[in-house]
Chain A
Amino acid sequence: MKHTLGTMRGRIGRRSIALIATAAAAALAFTGCSASNTSGSSNADLKGQTISYWLWDTNQQPAYQQCAADFTKKTGINVKISQYGWADYWTKLTTGFASGTAPDTFADHLNYFLQFEGQGQLLDITKQVKSANIDLAQYQPGLADLWVKDGKRYGLPKDFDTVGVFYNEDMIKAAGYTDAQMKTLEWNTNDGGSYEKLLAKLTIDKNGVHGDQPGFDKNNVAVYGLGLSSAAVDAVGQQGWAPYALSNDWNYGNKTPGTTKFNYGDSKFTGALTWWRSLIQKGYMEPLPQALSETDPSTGYLGGKYAMVTDGDWMNTTYLGQDKVPTKVAPTPVGPSGKRASVFNGLSDGIWSGTKHADAAFQWVKYLGSSDCQDVVASKAVVFPAIKTATAKAVEQFKAKGWDVSGFTVQVDDKTTKLLPIADHWSDVQSIMTAALQSYLSGKGTVDDIVKAGDQVNALYK
């Protein structure tokens, strides 16, 4: 709980000192004391304790309620689950950290992980994980490492997601394609390959002319071959440009976690982007202003305005769980690298460093990261749990529901996934790249602007 008053520059009057003292006192009051809870109580002592757990995803809440019930039966520890919507979740969490009222455990996201770690709000569980002999190999490869910083571990993998292409079966059939063909599409920076051919065919203008026919009016399109999610125009581009750039022999940065140099200036990146933007210019993909003025491309898709939309498996319920538009999932197309690619993202559960129930909290986090709980999550078929055996169970549950999710899992099976960059100053990286990419996609920015933005990003780490 140290706080220093840094160096005082110049001559400071009494009033300024009073001001600083006030600020310091306030900071004292604000900064949650970083607890080093090594109470070392045995399991027996934990019975009857209650710990709090926060999450945001309502779709998964029933699964976790059940895990909590099972957990209480097993250990006697009660878990109080609270759910807050995404926007409110992080504000409440941060306010909780600042005021010492944060929950004992909570669902953690890579966007915020490094930030919280840097602020000392996450409990280091390296020792507990070791002494509990948790087998980290049971998780999908790469996921466990995401939650380690400077050799310390702050969470166990919970679930993962990949990206695929949801498509309108009727429109695909009308264009003369089969489901099997959808699994072998390719793209390249020259002519877009079979992928762009398909998009051209699927795009129809107001007069019924297809994108690959003469007389196609790209300014008056009725059905776009590919929808665009405005959320995908950012530094990650997970459900936007990433499947292309990542399959163009390119990766985000030098390493992850702990990226310190990004490759946004690389010609392989700009090459993929240029081709991606060309889809808009040719009229096959939804333009950016339209995407920004939509709540989500799924509404346009369900309204018959888009034939295909790239998105993650978290959207399964939205696309596969409706019965108006027959929908299937295809894997993202294979790129010039000879392979396809998808971002591999994952969530974990973290423990607040200021918790008063560190041992009970760890028991709960351990349970969440174990097959007992992840199998329950698998059985509800909402997300892909991180433990390999649980993933397989989930895939079967999806099949039983009638949903073919192989378009997502093939990336994991073929090991064509790439990890998200996890870096300091992430929010700044996002601001810079989002502005540059939005400008580029809208036709105003040039490739030079993107390269410049890349330099700006790397300057953050010098």
Chain B
Amino acid sequence: MTTTLRPSPRTKPGNRSRPDKGSTPARKRSVRRPRTDLRAALIFITPAAVGFIAFFLVPAVLGIGYSFTDYRVFGPVNFVGLDNYAALFQDPLFWNALGVTLEYVVINIVVQTVLAVGVAVLMHRLTRSIVVRGIILLPYLVANVVVALVWFWIFDYSSGIANQVLAFFGVHPVSFFGSDVFAIPTIALVNVWRFMGYTALLIFAGLQTIPKEYYEAASLDGATENRMFWGITLPLLRPVLALVLVISVVGSFQIFDTVAVTTKGGPVNATRVIYYYIYELAFEKFKFGYASAISVVLLVILAAISLIQLRILRADKSDLG
């Protein structure tokens, strides 16, 4: 199920089976290894499992439980069966939230991933400089809420520098966060700024795993940068790209801070992303049961998307050459 990323001297490239099979018979195939490492695995997993169960699983199960009730944080808990789920399918705000979030995710992920891969490759090929890397990562060092505030300030209609620059070029000032056309793209681009460096760093770490020999060989054969990128870099980046995409998409769906600071769901409902809607329901309207139901639906959607991504990208496998 797992393969090496580097060519083993004893196997032909492309052989996905355990490298020992059919190779030098001088060595015993499987040493003292029992058929399963279950006991060892359990020991290694236990601390993480404790944390997972206590701080993730139990709350999640509780949340799923609430989705079948009309829990209002205070007061009696009444079982309402699937009422919440029936209600959300008929809730225009829910569908609006899904649509708005989808628009956001597409813009955000496409721009962010393309840029991140590009920047990572550029860093990989052009420079070792710690300064360059530091600068690219800088946006990640600022807390979410502050990033939103800074950009809100930069894009402020009257006193923000963005409109001042536009005015300098004779362009009419733009309502970045107030126009229902610009609001979501603006929020998406703000978050691209925030996470692009972090994503690039992850991809960069993955680029380190690609053996130099491949590039040298290909270069000898006359391959262009372009060919090498598509033929060597991308395929061998697959495990890390899978990681990056899954993490980014899931994180992107959970956009909240920027909306809470700048648009608060407006204008009208143009930026009422799903996570903000859930928050409003839970902490302002105290409709915790209903909010839980929407959260469960979100969880299922994300799990499905991640599963598909992992399958398509065959995240647990890697090409050899």
Contact = CB atoms under 8 A, between A and B. Distances in A.
A–B in direct contact per CB < 8 Å: yes
Interface of A: 2-10, 16, 19-20, 22-24, 26-27, 30-32, 87, 90-91, 94, 97-98, 115, 119-121, 220, 230, 288-295, 299-300, 303, 305, 427-428, 431, 434-435, 438-439, 442, 444
What band does the interface of chain B fall in when counting residues whose beta carbon is under 8 Å from A?
Answer: 35 or more
Nearest to A22: B65
Given A4-B78, A121-B74, A292-B178, A91 B283 contact: yes
A28 B157 CA distance: 49
B79 A8 contact: yes
Interface in B151-183: 152-153, 155-159, 172-180
A299 B159 contact: yes
Given A439-B268, A442-B267, A24 B77 contact: yes
B263 A427 contact: no
Most central of B73, B152, B263, B280 by chain A CB within 10 Å: B73
Contacts of A444: 268
B263 A292 contact: yes
A305 B160 CA distance: 13
24 contacts: A2-B76, A3-B75, A3-B76, A6-B79, A7-B79, A9-B81, A19-B65, A20-B68, A23-B65, A23-B71, A94-B283, A98-B74, A115-B286, A120-B74, A121-B74, A230-B178, A230-B266, A288-B178, A289-B175, A299-B158, A300-B159, A303-B159, A438-B267, A438-B268
A442 B69 contact: no
Interface string B275-289: 000001001111000
A19 B267 CA distance: 39
Given A27-B76, A438-B268, 11 more contacts: A20-B69, A94-B73, A94-B283, A290-B157, A292-B178, A293-B155, A294-B178, A295-B152, A300-B158, A427-B284, A435-B269
A20 B177 contact: no
B66 A294 contact: no
Contacts of A438: 266-268
B62 interface: yes
Nearest to B179: A289
A296 to B, nearest CB: 9
Contacts of B81: 9-10
B189 to A, nearest CB: 15
A115 B73 CA distance: 12
B61 A22 contact: yes
A385 B173 CA distance: 42
Contact of B69 (A23, A119, A300, A434): A23
Nearest to A120: B74
Nearest to A6: B78
B276 to A, nearest CB: 12
Contacts of A10: 81
A294 B155 CA distance: 8
A26 to B, nearest CB: 5
The secondary structure that dominates the A interface is helix
B266 A120 contact: no
A293 B175 contact: yes
Contacts, number: 131
A97 B62 CA distance: 19
Nearest to B145: A87
Interface string B53-83: 0000000011011101101111111111100
Nearest to B64: A19
A442 B156 CA distance: 19
Nearest to A219: B172
A294 B156 contact: yes
Contact of A20 (B65, B175, B176, B263): B65
A120 B72 CA distance: 12
Most central of B66, B175, B280 by chain A CB within 10 Å: B175
A19 B68 CA distance: 9
A291 B158 CA distance: 10
Interface in B258-277: 260, 263, 266-269
Contacts of B66: 23
B74 A292 contact: no
Contacts of A16: 68
A119 B75 contact: yes
Contacts of B69: 20, 23
Contact of A305 (B64, B79, B158): B158
A91 B260 CA distance: 13
A120 B76 CA distance: 12
B159 A23 contact: no
Contacts of A428: 285
Contacts of A7: 78-79
A181 B130 CA distance: 66
Interface string B171-204: 0111111111000000000000000000000000
A22 B266 contact: no
| Nearest 5 A/B pairs, CB to CB | A292-B178, A6-B78, A293-B178, A289-B178, A300-B158
Given A94-B283, A300-B158, A427-B285, A293 B76 contact: no
Contacts of A220: 172
A293 B179 contact: yes
A204 to B, nearest CB: 15
Contacts of A289: 175, 178-180, 267
A434 B280 CA distance: 14
Nearest to A112: B284
Contacts of A300: 157-159
A220 B170 CA distance: 12
A98 B80 CA distance: 22
A118 B68 CA distance: 22
B73 A98 contact: yes
A15 B73 CA distance: 23
Contacts of B156: 293-295, 299
Contacts of A5: 76-79
Contacts of A442: 180, 267-268
A305 B173 CA distance: 13
Most central of B78, B175, B178 by chain A CB within 10 Å: B178
B177 A292 contact: yes
A228 to B, nearest CB: 11
Contacts of B153: 295
